[in-house]
Structure 1
Amino acid sequence: MIREITEMDYPRLMEIWQSAVLNTHDFLKEEDFLYYKEQLPTYFKHVTLFGFEKDGILVGFIGTSNENLEMLFIDNDFRGIGIGKKLITFAIANLNVSKVDVNEQNTQAVGFYKHAGFKVVKRSALDEKGKEYPILHMEL
């Protein structure tokens, strides 16, 4: 079930984010991981958040801003069973999402978005914080 996220869900979103990032972002330096983890609650306030519940437990979430998918994270224990596909399909159909920026080094995510119909339109050598994590700008 997909539902809107409230501020009361933020602690669980943090757990999901950490589980996902620790298992998919092996390129991330520890100090950058800690930096982004600290910033995450601030980021939540700037996006529209929806989560996916399985058996009453929040196991994945998306954050969008206008037509941009800003975040999509699935608890590592629930990856590979179609939750990401359901969330991206929901975002495209209901939230008019047509763009996503993804870490080039996160090859699983790049493949996921390509499979969902996104194509690379541009590449940036640095991320939005000026860190050396190349970003692929993708659009439907």
Structure 2
Amino acid sequence: MDHVIDSHHLFVYLPVRSAEGVLCAGAENRKSCKCRRARKGPSPDSIILSETIMSAENSLRIRRLEAVDTDRLVEIWFEASCQAHHFLPLEMLEQQRDLIRKVYLPRAETWVAVCKGKPAGFVSLLDCHIGGLFIDPAMQGSGIGRRLVDHASRDRSPLTVEVYEENAPALAFYKHLDFVAVGRRPLDDNGLPHPLIRMKRG
């Protein structure tokens, strides 16, 4: 069965293991906003994890998407989606690889988190809407998701996002960053019965 992607939908995905690896879904009904300057550690389970988090935080820089990033960002998207989207058909994700590469990334304003010289995650924006936030599964829990959202918020308020209702870690992540639920729709952008929660900050 073919799944048609709504033209307003930037990425079909969901988050992953940790709250900060989380991704949202859908850009349908996004409203224009007046962008203005807005506001800008997890508790580790071990000293080793703490050192890893500090290392990632200290070596992280955020920059705009470059053409050389595309292959790695598509892989990050796919790996995170396969790990998190247990309720979405794998063949649908496979089919969307080329759309992410050729349609969605080029249309969005994408910022890449680079750690030790390699892309570790990215956020893609449509005006003041987070169309996609993906973190390399191996780097989740190191604060990269929070840093990307804070970066996106610098010149945007309010900032909105849609999250699958079934993705409890993603909802918790955004609530922790002061997003509040402002709406719900029963179908995702593929017309599948996976409710989406619309959230807003600012």
Deviation at 1:17, TM superposition (A): 0.7
Secondary structure of the corresponding residue to residue 94 of structure 1 = coil
Q: Quick check: 1:57 aligned with 2:109?
A: no
Tell me how large the CA RMSD over aligned residues is: 1.4
| Deviation >4 Å, runs of 4+ | none
Alignment of 1:5-16 (within 5 A): 5-16=65-76
Deviation at 1:93, TM superposition (A): 1.3
Q: Percentage identity across aligned positions?
A: 31
- Counterpart for residue 36 of structure 1: 96
1:124 paired residue among 173, 181, 185: 185
2:87 paired residue among 27, 31, 39: 27
Mapped contact 2:158–2:200 kept (Cα < 8 A):
no
- Counterpart for residue 44 of structure 2: none
Secondary structure of the corresponding residue to residue 108 of structure 1 = helix
Deviation at 1:99, TM superposition (A): 0.3
- Counterpart for residue 131 of structure 2: 70
Gapped regions of structure 1 (runs ≥ 5): none
Q: Quick check: 1:90 aligned with 2:151?
A: yes
Higher relative contact order (CA 8 A, sep 6+): 2
- How does the TM-score come out when normalised to structure 1? 0.92
Hey, what's the Cα distance between the residues in 1 that align with 2:173 and 2:179? 9
Mapped contact 2:111–2:122 kept (Cα < 8 A):
yes
Deviation at 1:110, TM superposition (A): 1.2
Task: Answer with 1 or 2: which has the greater Rg.
Answer: 2
Deviation at 1:105, TM superposition (A): 1.4
Question: Alpha carbons of 1:135 and 1:111: their partners in 2 closer, same or farther (altered >3 Å)?
Answer: same
Hey, what's the Cα distance between the residues in 2 that align with 1:97 and 1:8? 31
Mapped contact 2:82–2:90 kept (Cα < 8 A):
no
Gapped regions of structure 2 (runs ≥ 5): 1-60
Mapped contact 1:24–1:108 kept (Cα < 8 A):
no
Secondary structure of the corresponding residue to residue 154 of structure 2 = helix
Deviation at 1:96, TM superposition (A): 4.2
- How does the TM-score come out when normalised to structure 2? 0.65
- Counterpart for residue 194 of structure 2: 133
Mapped contact 1:27–1:105 kept (Cα < 8 A):
no
Mapped contact 1:4–1:49 kept (Cα < 8 A):
yes
Deviation at 1:102, TM superposition (A): 1.1
Question: Alpha carbons of 1:97 and 1:22: their partners in 2 closer, same or farther (altered >3 Å)?
Answer: farther
Deviates more, 1:10-19 or 1:123-132: 123-132
